[in-house]
Structure 1
Amino acid sequence: MSWHNLHARTEILHEVLTRAAADPADPALLHDLPESDRLFGGPEGVLAALQYQWDNHLNAKLDQALLEGRSEDEAYRELAAEQPALRAVLDSQDVRRWYDRRVLTH
């Protein structure tokens, strides 16, 4: 992947999160995103990238919580508070169910 494509993908994800801050359940949340079909394969790919971002951040939080003697639940709640738009869009789009299905079939 080129730097140009990486930056374009990042801009798309930021745009979705900006939109999600206003209304994570908006049906137009994943539409009219320039180049999202080419860069992500469409809305499902954007959602998968957001889920991947959440999973990476959560894994880091869980590692840190373990070192500090905090619970997994505390780490999850901390991340949800830090990234409310990301958590809201994943919840509103029921991404985990979709993501698990996609991973299991590919």
Structure 2
Amino acid sequence: MTWTDQHQRTAIVQTVLARAAIDPNDPGLFAGLPGIDRLFGGVDGLLQALFYRWNNHLRAKLEQAEIEGHTTVEAYLELAAEQPALRAVLDARAATVQTTRTRAFAR
């Protein structure tokens, strides 16, 4: 991956997070993102990258919480407060997947 690709990936992530800050359930959240297929392999790849980002931040928070004597719940809630758009995108996607699975089993 070139630096140009990395900068384009970062721009896509920032665009999605900015959109999610307004409405994480917006059906157009991932629309009109040039290069998403090439750089992420599509929406699923972008969501994996966002989930990876969340996990990296959470691991750091958990390590910090252990040092400072805080609970894992406190660490999670602190990160959710610091990264509300990221958490909202992941939660909205999880809700969509759950609804889709529920509908599939109801048939």
What is the SS of the residue equivalent to 1:93? helix
Query: How big is the alpha-carbon RMSD for the aligned residues of Structure 1 and Structure 2?
Result: 1.5
Shift of 1:91: 0.1
Deviations 1:66-98 (A, max 9, x none): 000100000000000001000001000118x79
Aligned match of 1:54: 54
Question: Taking structure 1 as the reference length, what is the TM-score of the superposition?
Answer: 0.88
In the alignment, what sits opposite 1:88? 88
Highest Rg: 1 or 2?
2
Moved segments of 4+, more than 2 Å: none
How far apart are 1:7 and its partner, in Å? 0.6
The whole-number CA distance in structure 2 between the counterparts of 1:73 and 1:91 is: 17
Report the AA paired with residue 21 of structure 2. A
**Quick one: distance in 2 between partners of 1:30 and 1:94?**
15
Secondary structure at 1:29's aligned position in 2? Answer: coil
Deviation at 1:6, TM superposition (A): 0.5
Identity of aligned residues (%): 59
Paired residue for 1:43? Answer: 43
Task: Please give the TM-score of this superposition, normalised by the length of structure 2.
Answer: 0.87
Runs of 5+ consecutive residues of structure 2 not aligned to the other structure: 99-107
**What count of residue pairs does the alignment treat as equivalent?**
97
